[in-house]
Structure 1
Amino acid sequence: MIFHGIKKVIIRGVNGSITVEGWEDEFITLEYEIHGRANVEVEENGDILIVREEPERSWITGNSRADIWLSVPRETEVEISSVNGPIKVENCRVESIKSTNSKITLKNVRIREIRTVNGSITGSIELAEELSVKTVNGKVELEIQDIEGDGKISTVNGSIRLLLSEFCDVTITAKTVNGKVEAPSREGEYELSITTVNGSVNVEFI
């Protein structure tokens, strides 16, 4: 399926995987693969594209799912929510990712918000815009190329490891209740607050 003139994509997943990749073309492509009894509902509302996975749940069919793949122009705003399915996002602009029981993998994304329960967050961020990351029962391992605005990263029951480029003009404040903290002391234009309850914090500039 091909879509033109879309400025924002909203994806709602249950059980299936979600993969979004940014590209240089000016249109959006959508593909999906059904496993068991599931549907994918697609809605265009002006310049907003909404994609919903709708699996059928029963004791006969088990956990049906639909795996979803989208290719979008790099400046298209992407919003994702998912339960029980892995999320992979590459080379695009992400407004938010909210998930439960999902592994989140990022590659060269511009991103603002991530919320997850029972899932890890790993990968690379091209630009963190007033970044807000919260996870419960999951580690955070991110390489960040640039930061604009103050940011917060927090976990409960999970370690945090960050690799920041020299373009990240930030003051680091880091603390943990039960764990070890290793973070450089330097002054920057913005503040990046890092906290965890049960886990270590490790921050390096590369």
Structure 2
Amino acid sequence: MLVDADGVPVAAGWGVPVRWDGRIDGLPSGYTDALVRAVQGREQGVEPDMLVTCGAVVTPSLKGRGLAGRTLTALRQTDREAGLGRVIAPVRPTTKARCPVTPVETFMWWRRPDGAALDPWIRTHERLGAEILVAAPESQTMTGTVAEWEGWTGLALPESGAYVIPDGLSLLHVDRDTDESVYREPNVWMRHC
């Protein structure tokens, strides 16, 4: 956690230790699988060798001041102090919500004219030395009833089909016959040096 001069929290980050064999096909399938592997690894006595950074949050009024990057740097330092040696992150590309029908496998490679990543969160990770490894197209899966999703999104979901939802990185799939709606959020695996 980062605090200001008065001791007030201004940003926070978290991660979980896991074991990874270093192969792309050996990565967790995404955020949720990384959490499961961390718990299972601890329960089974598996020695972790890397930190999966699961998130970094900055006080909204303080965004744009470099605090997210400082939080990621602090997480990397925590990794080194724990003797793990590697850091990876299932990055949630923040501007992907503007184009939820574009596959994350395509979106993650979009660049600005200056060559930097189009997405600012991917760009922040790259500025800190991270590299894109692979897409995690189903990093998190969230399931609920049609009524629950209508409440969560503020949208009417009158028939079965795919819907664009507020701040969603992909589409919500609604099945009114089974009363089940499923959202699969994509992430991008990035490795920090």
Give the TM-score range, shorter chain. Answer: under 0.3
Of the two structures, which has the highest relative contact order with CA contacts closer than 8 Å and spacing of 6 or more?
2
- Of Structure 1 and Structure 2, the greater strand share is in 1
- Of Structure 1 and Structure 2, the greater helix share is in 2
TM-score w.r.t. length of structure 1: 0.21
